[in-house]
Chain A
């Protein structure tokens, strides 16, 4: 049972816009920034979004993040077949001396 809650699956057709939600609490998302990771099949995770809505160099602007209260969202516009992957949100949690928590992951399928 992950501390952050994500839908287990999402899907869309090429060109569509899809969003993935991430729900937490006041001790994590409510008081800290959210990061998003993309994990392509058989590979290590890759940082996709940091500090709620910042893209590392090289990440297409089709990917965007937002946060409101104790929830966050990842949006992917102009969906492409290569976006088919697992997506994880993460945030620092201020409880118990501080640690980081991940969501349970969302498997995105491009139909």
Chain B
């Protein structure tokens, strides 16, 4: 059974750096074709794709946020970390991590999400 869980601060100040950790079980990020991605959703708004890291360390970023995002993986710990610099109140959102299957090429299993508020 695949599960993912996001963790990190619930409140960050403007200009600070956000670090979120996705801890997963039920799969290995060293398995060919597998990936873990991050998606966010501001309150009452649509989903926004942020970043994706594959088993071979291939990384993809949203072009509009690329300069602020870094995604890394620790295969031994079954974790994926997303950092976002220079946080702004518009970055207030629920942040989800999700498993990307090589079979479906889609996010087939999602974490519960973690709400991050950016405020001074």
Contacts and interface: CB of A to CB of B under 8 A. Distances in A.
Contacts of B107: 35, 37, 45, 47
Contact of A99 (B63, B104, B105, B113): B63
Interface string A82-111: 000000101010011111111111000000
Given A44-B110, A44-B113, A96-B63, A50 B48 contact: no
A54 interface: yes
B105 A105 contact: no
B11 interface: no
Report the interface size class on chain B: 20 to 34
B49 interface: yes
Nearest to A3: B49
A56 B99 CA distance: 14
Report the interface size class on chain A: 20 to 34
B108 to A, nearest CB: 5
Contacts of A68: none
A44 B46 contact: no
Contacts of B105: 33, 35, 50-51, 92
Nearest to A103: B46
A88 B47 CA distance: 8
Interface of B: 37, 39, 46-49, 52, 60-63, 96, 104-113
Top 9 nearest A-B pairs by Cβ distance?
Answer: A50-B104, A35-B106, A50-B106, A44-B110, A105-B46, A96-B63, A100-B49, A102-B47, A104-B46
28 contacts: A33-B105, A35-B104, A35-B106, A39-B47, A44-B112, A44-B113, A45-B39, A45-B110, A47-B104, A47-B108, A47-B109, A50-B104, A54-B104, A56-B104, A90-B47, A90-B49, A97-B60, A99-B52, A99-B61, A99-B63, A100-B49, A100-B52, A100-B60, A102-B46, A102-B47, A102-B48, A102-B49, A105-B47
